[in-house]
Structure formats: structure tokens, C-alpha cells
Amino acid sequence: MMDIKSSMAQIKVHDKMFGPFLSDQDIQQQVRKIAEAINSDYAGLRPMFIAILNGSFMFASDLFKYLTIDAEICFIKLASYKGTTSSGQVITAIGLDVDIIGKDIIILEDIVDTGKTLNEFLPKLLHHQPASMKIAALLHKPEAVKFPIRIDYLGFSIPNKFVVGYGLDYDGLGRNLKEIYQLV
Ligand code: IMP
Ligand code: MG
């Protein structure tokens, strides 16, 4: 159950309490900054954004509205399954139906936590020979990193605490919040 009393008071998602962390305004300001940096870095180019579902849908949507350059976007889902390699898990992209050869790719992620997901996925994308590949993430938890990832455009560095809202969920709920809340 999600119980929202006011737009920035403590909220309950399932069994846990979350406190206000980043306001709608904080988030929009950073998303706009990232878009402005991309507008300038990619002037005259036509980047292809690859947004990783589910969590990045709001970030991708808002960022895209602030872009003034020509840009394309596609949405993919990453699924991990038990592979036959020694490392066990294998990550595949569902929905990557566009040709990325020779394109300037910008990956959109809601949050980079341990870095495991991108660490496994990026080499696979590079295999398709894009002209360039950069990463834009709204949130990053530096203390949680196990697989270092270079984030080219970052919204916020945050403490190693679980967060919900603005696309991020706790067990399926909380994605619809305009703000980001932190576990208390
Ligand atoms: P990583 O592979 O450990 O970097 O995990 C990245 C994914 O875990 C993100 O794309 C999120 O879907 C999820 N995740 C990590 N931290 C949080 C959090 O605090 N709240 C909600 N989802 C999270
Ligand atoms: Mg995600």
C-alpha cells in the first residue's frame, strides 16, 4: 500500500517508511542540466538514446523534453538468466531492435548501484560497434560500487540507502512519485 499524505512528508510503501530526499524541483533542475550538456556536446550530431526499463522511463521522458538537438530513443529491458559461463548470470537486452553500428549512443539509467548491470551490458553493446557510447544516470551510489563504471552525465551522487520514486520502485510500487524518497 502506498500512503501519500502530502507531497513531501514521510510515506509508506508496502511495509517500509521513506522520507523526503530529492524534490521535484531538484530533480528537474539536474535533468535539465544533463540535457543542456548533451545539447552542447552533441551539437550537429544525432545521438541514439537507449533507456533501460523499467526504472528510467521518467528520467528518459523528462530529459528528452529538454533536448533541442535531433535525437532518437529506444527502450530496452535487461533480463538476466543462468548462463553456462563460469560467471553464472548472463544479461541479454530485450527490445534492442535498432541498428547501432556507427551511432553515437547514450545509455539512460535511473541509478547505478553496484555497477553490475552496466558492467555486463556495456561490452555487449560495444560489440555492435557504435561510433561512441556514453552513460547518463540520474543517481549513483558511489559507496555501493563493485564494478566501476564511468558515468558521463550524472544527476546526483547519493548515500548507499535504498530510494524510491521518479521511476524507481520498491517491490513494484513508488514509481509514480514525482519526488525521490529514501528509506528511513
Ligand atoms: P546495479 O547493477 O547494482 O548497478 O543495479 C542497478 C539497478 O538496480 C537499477 O537500475 C535499479 O533498477 C536497481 N536499484 C539499485 N538501487 C536501487 C534503489 O535504491 N531503489 C530502487 N532500485 C534500485
Ligand atoms: Mg534500472
- Note the pLDDT tens digit of each residue in 9-52: 999 999 999 999 999 999 999 999 999 999 999 999 999 999 99
Compute the distance between CA of residue 34 and CA of residue 37 in angstroms, rounded to an integer. Answer: 5
Domain range spanning residue 40? Answer: 12-183
* Active-site residue, 62 included: no
All residue ranges of the chain with pLDDT < 50 are 5
| Model pLDDT, residue 82 | 67
Q: Record the pTM.
A: 0.92
Residue 158 C-alpha from the chain's centroid: 14
**Domain for residue 26, yes or no?**
yes
Q: Choose among 115, 147, 118: nearest CA to 133.
A: 118
* CB 116 less than 6 A from any atom of ligand 1: yes
Is the dihedral angle over the CA atoms 7, 181, 2, 173 positive or is it negative?
Answer: positive
Task: Examine residue 1 and state whether it is found in any structural domain, yes or no.
Answer: no
Instruction: Please report, for the domain that includes residue 59, its CATH number.
Output: 3.40.50.2020
What is the rounded distance in angstroms from the CA atom of residue 104 to the CA atom of residue 18? 38
Ligand 1, atom 8, residue with closest C-alpha: 113
Closest atom of ligand 1 relative to the 149 alpha carbon: 4
Report the C-alpha gap between 128 and 102 in whole angstroms: 9
> Which pLDDT does position 34 carry in this prediction?
98
